[in-house]
Amino acid sequence: MIRVILFGAVGRMGKLVIEELQEQVDMTIVAGVEHPEHDSIGTSINDIPIIADGKELPEADVWVDFSFGEPALEHIRRASELGMPIVMPATGFDDKAIREIDKLSVSCPILMTPNLSTGIGVMERLIGDASRLFGNDFDPVLSEIHHTAKRDAPSGTALRLAQQVITDVEPPPIQIVSQRAGGAVGEHQIRFVGKDEELVITHRAWSRRAFSRGVPRAIRFIVEKESGMYSTTDMYGED
């Protein structure tokens, strides 16, 4: 049985992840963690105790972190000290933080990704394969649309997808168009445009459950890995 500690357990995504993990026969959530001032401290969700961040944590096999910013970075530091595998579906780290996280991965396995949906994981691989086959004969154009409350533009997912484009030119010549409208959950589309034809790859998330459903696979992947930095490209690149 894989024992999981979930950071950010009471947030919108955290609650969905709890539901998802409780459906897995090989996993159990031993605790949910929130910041010390959160009203939920000392309560429980679906019989999972909610404890304060910074307190002693129960024994676990893997951490899953849906917090952001400095708290998320601190969790990676603690995971590194313990050699604890950690799934970090977060964006917004600056270059300094990324460099630190890369160094910390020497002591623990870290799966870091802006998007854990299965469709995006497969899309990453398809983009790499398509751009490798097209070479410089097709121009890649990436577009995305999210809800109006989403602050980062381009999104972390869009930037991650753009990184999968492989050409002989450095950096790869790719345009990213970002739109924010209504309650759109998330759509990403890449077009490889040639002189006489184009290939279009589109991913649409119809609900936030698309993001939570990828968490069990991420846990099973990272809990077996040696120390190091991993991405969904690694996870979906395995046969």
pLDDT digits (tens, 9 = 90+) for 116-138: 999 999 999 999 999 999 988 99
Range of the domain at 80: 2-115+210-237
Does residue 106 share a domain with residue 10? yes
Q: What is the mean pLDDT of residues 55-84?
A: 92
Does residue 155 share a domain with residue 129? yes
Does residue 124 share a domain with residue 110? no
Degrees, nearest 5: CA angle 16-222-49: 40
Contact 61, 218 (CB under 8 A): no
Does residue 199 share a domain with residue 221? no
Strand 109-112, strand 228-230: pairing: parallel
Q: How far is CA 152 from the centre of its chain?
A: 15
Both tokens of residue 239? 């046969």
Does residue 58 share a domain with residue 90? yes
Query: Which of 58, 115, 59, 70 lies closest to 94 in space, CA to CA?
Result: 70
Rounded distance between C-alpha atoms, residue 221 and residue 118, angstroms: 13
pTM given for the model: 0.87
pLDDT digits (tens, 9 = 90+) for 6-46: 999 998 899 999 999 999 999 999 999 999 888 889 899 98
Contact 62, 87 (CB under 8 A): yes
Q: What is the mean pLDDT of residues 65-80?
A: 90
Both tokens of residue 90? 């977060």
CATH code at position 184? 3.30.360.10
Does residue 136 share a domain with residue 74? no
As a whole number, the mean pLDDT across the chain is 91
Does residue 122 share a domain with residue 111? no
Rounded distance between C-alpha atoms, residue 27 and residue 24, angstroms: 6
Amino acid at 22: Q
Domain count, the chain: 2
